[in-house]
Amino acid sequence: AGIYFMVMQFINGPSLKDEFKALRQQGRGFSLKAISRIFLALGSAIDYAHRHRMVHRDLKPGNIMINENGQVLLTDFGITRLLDGTRYTATGAMLGTPAYMSPEQSRGAKVDGRSDIYTLGVILYELVTGKVPFEAPTPVGVLMQHVGQPLPPPRLINATLPRPVEDVIVKALQKSPDDRYQSAGELAQALRDAVGLQPGDTLNKNP
């Protein structure tokens, strides 16, 4: 019998989590334009996955890599589920990272691509405020807040945040999937418009 193996690209660069942590230690953060560029790249990658009927289900800053050329790469599709219900996981247990899970995922309900949209909203919230929207002493407590707790307005934490950007975050983090952006690209476009990023701007330009 042969030996099965998987070949994966080596990414020479930090994760978004590492990059954000380093900036925070310097008393800084990503500029809104830099965040918008990141989300344009993420939107393209996630829409591609959704078109191929895959829901990531574990998006988080640690799974988003930035290579030496500034290119944003999405990794760790280890708990991906096909939209037809096929699992790519070993068990039927609830999977994901509580701080970034959508209300429907937190309930253990059926999810579609709009669950990933909610998670993008959590990541965006964290990048502009420095913290995730819901925190609790236990993972179950966090999940319960995703399901039933009103969203703390981002501008209560970061008063300098432009209101149009807050509006984008609030829409992405609606409890009902029908009330969110319906695609990652739609979210990324709304953020670009709110920030004022020009269509010609690229990831390789400085913030």
Question: Which of 102, 79, 78 shows the shortest CA–CA distance to 177?
Answer: 102
Does any domain span residue 41?
Answer: yes
**Rounded Cα distance, 164 and 184, in Å:** 18
CA distances from 133 to 11, 25, 53, 202 (A): 29, 20, 28, 29
- What global pTM score does this model have? 0.85
* Blockwise average pLDDT, block size 10, the chain, 207 residues: 66 84 91 94 92 87 87 71 40 66 92 94 97 94 96 97 98 98 96 86 47
Torsion over CA: 51, 54, 60, 63 (sign): negative
Return the SS3 of 125.
Answer: helix
Helix axes 113-129, 16-25, angle to 10 degrees: 20
- Which pLDDT value is given to residue 174? 98
- Which pLDDT value is given to residue 85? 43
- Which pLDDT value is given to residue 22? 92
**Rounded Cα distance, 190 and 169, in Å:** 10
- Which pLDDT value is given to residue 68? 83
- Which pLDDT value is given to residue 207? 41
Tokens standing for residue 119 = 């998670």
- Which pLDDT value is given to residue 88? 35
CATH number at residue 151: 1.10.510.10
Is residue 193 part of the annotated active site? The answer reads no
Indicate the burial class of 154 (C-beta count within 10 angstroms; 0-12, 13-18, 19 or more): buried
Does any domain span residue 160?
Answer: yes
Look at the chain and report how many structural domains it folds into.
1
Does any domain span residue 22?
Answer: yes
Give the active site residue among 47, 58, 116, 201. Answer: 58
Q: Which domain range does residue 90 map to?
A: 16-195
- Which pLDDT value is given to residue 196? 92
Does any domain span residue 134?
Answer: yes
**Rounded Cα distance, 159 and 129, in Å:** 9
